[in-house]
Amino acid sequence: RSRMKLHNCKYIVATGTTGRYAGCDLLAHPEVNELYCLWNCGFYSCESQVFSSLLTLMKHGIIPERIDYSLGFRHYKKDCLEKDIYPDFHQIDESQNIDLYLHDVPLPEANVASSYSIECDSYNQIINRFFNPSESVSTKKETLEKKYNIDYSKTIAVLYRGTDKHTEVTLAGAEEYLEVTKNILKDNPDFKVLIQTDQTQVAEYFSEQLGDKIIFFEELPLTKSSEALIYILERIGADSITWSQWVDAAFRCVSQCKYIVNHTGNGGLFVRLYRGNNKGIYQFDENGRLI
């Protein structure tokens, strides 16, 4: 285990010096078995570190009993930086089986689209055990489904990530996403289009082009700035936990749609992971090309 390298996370076993066990007697907690996230970037960037670290632990025969976000996710904690917000978003299903010691399973790379094409049951096992939606996220997802009358079997989802993403990958233009969407609509003229984006301009563009076919979640904020939305919300004092729960609920809705026009990045990766397969996905890669 000393050679095991995790992705911006720390695995704690039988220690009383970290997190909720800080200052405690080691003998008082002899079976500590927890994974702590140490990352402080965007929400799905943090989630990706946890997912990759869990896969690494699986390869070494380790299944954490608990995941803790008290040492990371700082942009999403307005009042208490040490709060563990894992329960705000997820719950563990201990009944989900985990295959161990599978060293040939690759780690997904968020900004490399080819990583998304891997059909891997081990990925699904990790998602189904550790990334089930919390009650709050599930309730928000149900609210969106009912309010917008979503029929997943007749919906095309478009996930467009703008703002500062251009610093990491080459972004395809909104018109290219629209072209793919219109081509799908030619064969499915009765379908709706769920547009999920962080940019006001993109949402308005799709609305102008597709009219009443558009489904857009009013519960999620947008920005016209090129700056990451998390930093803007942080400055104006927005409730980032609640906002992020709405985002996660929306992404889970996106993952269930018949077709998805997806971007390459941490959010796009988690839509794929929530979906559990690659069926019906059109992907713009890290070079802005449709694959």
Please list, residue by residue across 189-228, b when 16 or more beta carbons sit within 10 angstroms of its beta carbon and e when fewer do: eebbbbbbbbbeebbbbbeeebeebbbbbebbebbeeeeb
How far apart, in whole angstroms, are the C-alpha atoms of residue 252 and residue 231? 23
The model carries a pTM of: 0.89
Position 139, amino acid: T
Convert the pLDDT of each residue in 138-175 to its tens digit. 999 999 999 999 999 999 999 998 755 566 677 889 99
- Of 275, 240, 232, nearest to 254 by C-alpha is 275
What is the Cα 86 distance to its own chain's centre?
13
- Of 5, 88, 7, nearest to 46 by C-alpha is 7
The encoded tokens of residue 167 equal 């610093």
What is the structure's pLDDT at 233?
A: 59
User: Does the pLDDT value for residue 119 go beyond 90?
Assistant: no
What is the structure's pLDDT at 2?
A: 43
**What average pLDDT does the segment 53-66 reach?**
96
Those residues whose C-beta lies under 8 Å from the C-beta of residue 30, and which sit 6 or more positions away, are 14
Contact indicator for 192, 151 with CB cutoff of 8 Å: yes
| Helix, strand, or coil (residue 62) | coil
The whole-chain average pLDDT of the chain stands at 87
User: Does the pLDDT value for residue 109 go beyond 60?
Assistant: yes
- Of 55, 128, 137, 110, nearest to 268 by C-alpha is 110
**What average pLDDT does the segment 77-104 reach?**
93
